[in-house]
Structure 1
Amino acid sequence: MSEGLVAAPSQRALVVDDEVELARLVGDYLSREGFAVDVAHDGEHALRLARAAAPDVVVLDVMMPGIDGMEVCRQLRTFTDAYVIMLTARAEEVDKIVGLSVGADDYLTKPFSPRELVARVKAMLRRPRASQAGAKHAPPVRRFGELTIDPEAREVTVADRRVELTRLEFDLLEALSARPRMAFSRRQLIEQVWAKGWGGDEHVVDVHIAHLRRKLKDAPSAPRYVMTVRGVGYRMGPG
C-alpha cells in the first residue's frame, strides 16, 4: 500500500478518508486480499489519484475538509465507472439516499467491520463488466414507446434525445428491458446488477430506480417505462 501509485495491479482500490489510521487499516485489509491500494486523505488528492491510477473501486468517506465525499463522487462520475462505496458516520436515511443519488454503489455506516467492507468490494467486483460479457450475437435494440435502448452500444434515447446514465442505471434498465414481462424483486435485481451474495441494503435499488426515472422523465405517479409492481418490485412498461 502507498500514498502514491502502485505498479501493475490486477485490481486497484483507492481509499479516501481524512482519518489517517482508518484509511491505513482499510488499505491494509485490501492489500492482504491482493489489491493494489492508493490512499488519499482529502478530496483533491483523491481526484488526482483516480485520474492517474484508474481504480476499480473507491472507498470514500463522506465528511472531509475541503471537497467532501459527495462532491468527490459527483466528479468521479464524470470520468470513471469505478465502484464507489461511501463511508458515513451518520446513520440518517437522508444521508444514504443523497450519497447514492450522486452515483455511489453502496454505503457503510461507521463504525464498520473492515472484513465486511472487503467482502462487499469483492462481491461487486465479481460481477463482469459489460465489455467482458462475451455475447456471441449482439442483442437487438429495444423500444418502449419513445424510449430506445441499445444494449451493445450502451446508449439510451427518449424521443431521439440522448440520455446519459451511470453504469448501474444502465444495467438496471438493461436487465428490466431484457425481460419486459417479468416482475423483478429487489433481490433479483441486486443479484443480476450488483452480484450474488451482495450484502448491502436492498433499498439501494429504489434509489437508483428513482434516479433512472428522473433522467427518463418517467413520473413515478404515472410511469411509462419503469413500472412499480406493488409488493414485488419493478418491471418494464408496455413495449
Structure 2
Amino acid sequence: MTKLLLVEDDKELAELVSEYLRINQFDVTCCTDGRRAIHLLTQQNFDLVLLDIMLPGIDGLEVLRSLRKHAATPVIIISARGGDLDKIVGLELGADDYLEKPFNHRELLARVKALLRRSQLLGGAQHKVDTQHDELAHLVVADLSFNLASRTLLHQDMPVSLTGMEYALLLKLAQNQGEVVSKEQLSIECLGRRLTPFDRSIDTHMSKIRKKIAQLSERVQIRAIRGKGYCLTC
C-alpha cells in the first residue's frame, strides 16, 4: 500500500483528510509539528508527503529543506498561504505541487495520484525494464544520461540532484530535443493538470532546472521561448 505522510497541525483537518485518503486505499501517517516530521522522514520511507507550511516550532519550509538534503520524495504543499510569492518559494525549495486551503478533497486525491504516477509509485504506472536490454532504459543527450528505470540523471557518470518533478520536466524536454514543448503540454503531462491563468509553476520549476544544468553542462541549453514554451538544444 502506498505510504503517505500528512504534516498538518490542524487536528480536525488532519483527521478528515487522512480518513478520506485511507478510504481511497492509502496508508497515512499523521504528525502535527515540523520536528516530528523531520524525524519520521529520516527514519521511514514515504511515497509522498503532504506538507503544511505554518507549523509549530519548525515550519514546513524548513521540513522541506531538510528532506531535500537526502531525498527526492514527492511533496505537495497544502497551505492557507496562497500568494504567488509563497507558491514560488515552496516550489523553489523543492516542492512538486502546491494546493491552497481550503481545497476540495477530490482535487487533493487527483493531485496525489497524478504525482505518484509521475513518480512511478503506483503499480499501474510502473515501467518494467528488462535488464537484458539495459541500453533501452537510458536516454543520452550530450553529456547527460537519463536512467529511465531508476528515474535518475547522470552527468559524466555522477548523479545529479533533481526532484521528481524536475526530472519529469527535463526528461520531457530531452525526449523532444530541438523542439519547443508548450507550457500547456508540460503542465498536463508532468504536473497532471491543465495550465491555468497566472500559474507560474512550470516557469518556477524550469528556472531551477536551467540553473542546475548551467552549472553542469556547457553543451545542453534550455531556452525559454516567449509565449510558447521551452526547448532543449545541444
- Alignment partner, residue 171 of structure 2: 174
What is the alpha-carbon distance in structure 2 between the residues aligned to residue 199 and residue 18 of structure 1? 30
Aligned counterparts, 1:1-239, within 5 A: 10-127=1-118, 129=120, 132-135=126-129, 136=133, 137-143=136-142, 148-152=143-147, 154-157=152-155, 163-195=160-192, 198=193, 202-217=199-214, 225-237=221-233, 239=234
Deviation at 1:91, TM superposition (A): 2.3
Count of aligned pairs between the two proteins = 218
Deviation at 1:161, TM superposition (A): 8.1
| Contact preservation (8 Å) 1:83, 1:105 | yes
Deviation at 1:224, TM superposition (A): 6.2
What is the alpha-carbon distance in structure 2 between the residues aligned to residue 30 and residue 77 of structure 1? 25
Give the stretch that moved more between structures: 172-181 or 131-140: 131-140
After superposition, give the CA deviation of every residue in 1:128-172 in whole Å (9 maximum; x if it has no partner).
Answer: 5299433552334211xxxx21112733438x9864322222222
What is the alpha-carbon distance in structure 1 between the residues aligned to residue 159 and residue 20 of structure 2? 41
State the one-letter code of the partner of 1:75. S
Give the stretch that moved more between structures: 23-32 or 129-138: 129-138
Compared CA separation, residues 232 and 55, structure 1 to 2 (3 A): same
After superposition, give the CA deviation of every residue in 1:198-237 in whole Å (9 maximum; x if it has no partner).
Answer: 367552111110011122237xxxx961111221110112
State the one-letter code of the partner of 1:15. L
Query: Which stretches in structure 1 are left out of the alignment for 5+ residues?
Result: 1-9
What is the alpha-carbon distance in structure 2 between the residues aligned to residue 182 and residue 165 of structure 1? 22
Instruction: Provide runs of 4+ in structure 1 moved above 4 Å.
Output: 160-163, 199-202
State the one-letter code of the partner of 1:157. H
| Contact preservation (8 Å) 1:38, 1:49 | no
TM-score of the superposition, structure 2-length normalised?
Answer: 0.83
What is the alpha-carbon distance in structure 2 between the residues aligned to residue 85 and residue 100 of structure 1? 9
| Contact preservation (8 Å) 1:73, 1:102 | yes
State the one-letter code of the partner of 1:164. S
| Contact preservation (8 Å) 2:96, 2:164 | no
| Contact preservation (8 Å) 1:13, 1:38 | yes
- Alignment partner, residue 3 of structure 1: none
What is the alpha-carbon distance in structure 2 between the residues aligned to residue 199 and residue 15 of structure 1? 25
What is the alpha-carbon distance in structure 2 between the residues aligned to residue 103 and residue 200 of structure 1? 20
Deviation at 1:79, TM superposition (A): 2.6
State the SS of the aligned residue for 2:58.
Answer: coil
Deviation at 1:86, TM superposition (A): 0.6
TM-score of the superposition, structure 1-length normalised?
Answer: 0.81
Deviation at 1:102, TM superposition (A): 0.8
Aligned sequence identity (%): 38
Q: CA RMSD in A?
A: 2.5
What is the alpha-carbon distance in structure 2 between the residues aligned to residue 165 and residue 120 of structure 1? 20
